[in-house]
Structure 1
Amino acid sequence: MRHTESTEGRSVRLLRVGEQVRHALSEILMRGDVHDELLATHPVSVTEVRMSPDLRHATVFVKPLLGADEEAVLKALRVHDRYLKTEVARRVNTKYAARLKFLLDESFDEGGHIDRLLRSPKVAADLKGDDEA
């Protein structure tokens, strides 16, 4: 049997199931199926889902809109993880219902930091020096 790997070392199957879980969670949160006042007032983006090789664990990376009340939103998601697990299991057909672990997505913050560094005067001076040479 041939095992297909992606560039990141995860199989295509893991990536595909992760995308299905991400879409299911996004739909559940967008429709307001979770009866939580905080989640109703704070839109949440599900940016990525990484599945374990046995598909029993899913690490869900989320980011509240505009980064508002990140810790409170994360806590609310963790409180409702059993309900979310059940709903995802209904929408994504796998042998086991994956246990959901919610984490904040820091990639946007890291991207902003790198952008600020690249736009800093010191880097701009270095780039001007390279153009003159």
Structure 2
Amino acid sequence: MAKPLSTPEQQSVRVLKVGERVRHILSELLARQEVHDDTLTATSVSVTEVRMSPDLRNAAVYVKPLLGIDEAVVLKALRTNTAYFQREVAKRLGLKSAPKLSFRGDESFDEAERIEKLLNDPKVARDLGDEEE
């Protein structure tokens, strides 16, 4: 009987490492403005997270333009240039198959801002003050 190649814990670590490498590659491509797209060269875009599927075939790439300006336009430009990004990731990653990239807007900053506003609400602050006493 064949022994499994790796445990689930090791697989998840590998998935995280590959996702982080993809994030670094995409960040480098965008920072060096290697994409020949006017929108992407004119805007500073942060790749905040890359979530890989367990089989490493798909990657959800979460991005945020600087100050969140023109997010829809930036996402459209990224999606238009997906083939270029996939080709560069494949070349630099060195895996058997390149992951299929899907670009998405990062909503975590908006969610953090919403939670911050809730915590600063006088009603919530009053309730939190009672617990500390």
TM-score of the superposed pair, with normalisation by structure 1: 0.91
Separation in 2, partners of 1:27, 1:130: 46
Superposition pairs of residues 63-82 of structure 1, within 5 angstroms: 63-82=64-83
Structure 1 runs, 4 residues or longer, greater than 3 Å off: none
Separation in 2, partners of 1:131, 1:76: 49
Separation in 2, partners of 1:114, 1:55: 33
Separation in 2, partners of 1:41, 1:103: 19
Q: Secondary structure at the match of 1:55?
A: coil
Q: How far off is 1:41 after superposition?
A: 1.1
Q: 1:129 to 1:102 in 2, by over 3 A?
A: same
Give the letter aligned to residue 3 of structure 1.
T
Q: Secondary structure at the match of 1:47?
A: strand
Give the letter aligned to residue 100 of structure 2.
R
CA RMSD of aligned residues (A): 1.4
Query: Once the two structures are aligned, what percentage of the paired residues are identical?
Result: 57
Tell me what 1:42 maps to.
Answer: 43
Number of residue pairs the alignment of both structures matches:
129
Q: How far off is 1:4 after superposition?
A: 4.2
Give the counterpart of 1:5 among 3, 9, 26.
9
Separation in 2, partners of 1:5, 1:66: 37
TM-score of the superposed pair, with normalisation by structure 2: 0.91
5+ long unaligned stretches in structure 2? none
5+ long unaligned stretches in structure 1? none
Q: Secondary structure at the match of 1:17?
A: helix
Give the letter aligned to residue 114 of structure 2.
H
Superposition pairs of residues 112-127 of structure 1, within 5 angstroms: 112-127=113-128
